[in-house]
Homo-oligomer: A and B are copies of this chain.
Amino acid sequence: MSDPLSSGATIGILGGGQLGRMLSVAAARLGFKTHVFEPGGEPPAAQVAHRLTTAPYTDADALARFAQSVDIVTYEFENIPTSALNIIEKYVQIRPGREALRVSQDRLSEKQFLQNLGLTVAPFADVPDHDALEKAVETIGTPGILKTRRFGYDGKGQARLKTPQDIAPAWADMAGQPAILEGFVEFTHEVSVIAARSPQGDIACFDPGENVHRDGILHTTKVPARLNASMRTDAVLIAAKILNALEYVGVLGVELFVTRAGLIVNEIAPRVHNSGHWTQNGCTVDQFEQHIRALAGWPLGNGSRYADVIMENLIGADVKQVADLAKEPNCAVHLYGKSETKPGRKMGHVNRIVK
């Protein structure tokens, strides 16, 4: 696809959660229709999408019909089965491309990819089994974090090792799945860069945000982040290096640890990212529209920021605060339309415009 996608075209979105929902709204703002593919019932994105297909990723017919009904496909999460992608790609282009998914679906490939680009990552070791974990702890030492190579998010599939005595329980936590051990990095804070690349290779970055997590889940993102000028430049160069190496099209999230020795890449997400939600109330073109613009071959927004913003996630019962939050001046409320409140579930977020 070399011509820009025209208004009126349909964008297929794999995944019907809050990211798919906010992508749908952004697509509509540019005159596109969306068609959401989601195995689960009552997906939040379907409330604002033009069409919904409810089917598992193993349903080849449903995938083929979905692919034939849309002009391009994107996704809101990286753990889409390869078999599903193979079927879709017979009919229609997927953006961001397969290489970004291959790299980011597996923590080991991701670390190796970043290291091969000359970027600094935390010390890591491949841990296919219990013996390998013992060797890895000898090399990397403790404290460290054992993480499943695949399907981990928001702190899931992770076990901390404070001392070598934690090897057995940590390995048991992996339930036999291949893992990697990551060494402990002494960092002062975490920032993330939300960056976009167009099919022509243009790149635009939003200002880095500073992230605070609680219980392994993002709690707040604040812009501007605490970063000196040279780190601010580095953050952009790191993001650009990753985007170009992947010949990436769309929005990518890059999480970075800020250390005395410079920036260390924690992880990348080949999609719009929770730490970029602040852009909805700080930028003319937000991360969701930026992603749609990129994959549609439209000009990218320039990423410039007109306000300082603090984004705060509403997790589980936090959503009960909405009546009070709605009273706050300069506080933009964004709810995801999820019918059931569960502990740890992302129910919405607020963007507080602080300047």
Tell me the A residues contacting B by CB distance below 8 Å: 4, 7-8, 21, 24-25, 28-34, 46-50, 281, 284-285, 293, 298-299, 301-302, 304, 306-307, 319, 322-323, 326-327, 329-339, 348, 353
Which of chain B's residues has its CB closest to A355's CB? B306
> Cβ of A8 and Cβ of B48 under 8 Å apart?
no
> Cβ of A29 and Cβ of B335 under 8 Å apart?
yes
A353 contact from B33, B34, B284, Cβ within 8 A: B284
Distance in angstroms from A220 CB to nearest chain B CB is 18
Q: Please give, as numbers and ranges, the residues of chain B lying within 8 Å of A32 by CB-CB distance.
A: 337
Question: Could you write out 11 A-B pairs with CB less than 8 Å apart?
Answer: A7-B322, A25-B25, A29-B333, A30-B333, A31-B338, A32-B337, A46-B50, A284-B353, A299-B327, A302-B329, A306-B353
Ranked 8 nearest A-B pairs via Cβ: A31-B335, A299-B327, A47-B50, A48-B48, A28-B48, A299-B326, A31-B337, A302-B329
Q: Please give, as numbers and ranges, the residues of chain B lying within 8 Å of A353 by CB-CB distance.
A: 284, 306
> Cβ of A4 and Cβ of B323 under 8 Å apart?
yes
> Cβ of B304 and Cβ of A339 under 8 Å apart?
no
> Cβ of A25 and Cβ of B7 under 8 Å apart?
no
Which of chain B's residues has its CB closest to A46's CB? B50
Which of chain B's residues has its CB closest to A8's CB? B339
Which of chain B's residues has its CB closest to A323's CB? B4
Distance in angstroms from A42 CB to nearest chain B CB is 10
Which interface residue of A31, A49, A281, A306 has the most chain B CB atoms within 10 A? Answer: A31
Distance in angstroms from A48 CB to nearest chain B CB is 5
Q: Please give, as numbers and ranges, the residues of chain B lying within 8 Å of A4 by CB-CB distance.
A: 323
> Cβ of B285 and Cβ of A284 under 8 Å apart?
no
> Cβ of A284 and Cβ of B28 under 8 Å apart?
no
Distance in angstroms from A256 CB to nearest chain B CB is 26
Q: How far is the CA of A132 from the CA of B29 in the complex (A)?
A: 48
> Cβ of B330 and Cβ of A304 under 8 Å apart?
yes
Q: Please give, as numbers and ranges, the residues of chain B lying within 8 Å of A28 by CB-CB distance.
A: 21, 25, 47-48, 337
